[in-house]
Chain A
């Protein structure tokens, strides 16, 4: 079946601009995660959604970062007033339930000039 998809695959933006990244989880997956992966680094947890519950935002690095998810569907990660240090690959993952295997999307490669 279809896996996790993300768009855009690449985004180049100027410092100070806002960007919006999209994630389409696997159909039926109730849990959705956002991670950031800087070049040559591991994955940093950003935020987690489970159904209609309040999200776990404990990994968001600053108030410039926010994310939304409507029900168990699409999620968007918004970065306001982008900075050069925001340049990274942003990965989305979904799992059927909260404590099951996470399946990753292909990521969005963000470059802030």
Chain B
């Protein structure tokens, strides 16, 4: 089955600087890569996603890049702010037996923005 590795597990960044979180996946059939942000004690929230027919997607301060050949994808947050502090999860999907998006999640990155 799919295996997703995520690095680093913790990341501290000065406010205003950029943060980059990287994930690798094992199943070349994966074609959908969402990123979720989870604040302490709260539910995961989708922040950005990318499908395998594009290499990069940007939404304001957040961008995701995908390299299908190398089977890795990254989350980039620019001009970081204190409210960006959270745990970020990457995920990769393969098509399940029922046609569903079967997400396999990384182990998360705890991002701390230092004021």
A residues neighboring B (CB under 8 Å): 4, 31, 33, 40-45, 48, 50, 53-56, 58, 91, 95, 98-107
Contacts and interface: CB of A to CB of B under 8 A. Distances in A.
Interface on chain A toward B: helix, strand, loop, or mixed SS? loop
B79 to A, nearest CB: 25
B44 interface: yes
Interface of B: 4, 6, 32, 34, 36, 42-46, 49, 89, 91, 96-108
B91 to A, nearest CB: 8
* Main SS at interface, chain B: strand
8 contacts: A41-B107, A43-B89, A43-B103, A48-B100, A56-B98, A58-B102, A98-B99, A101-B34
Nearest to B9: A40
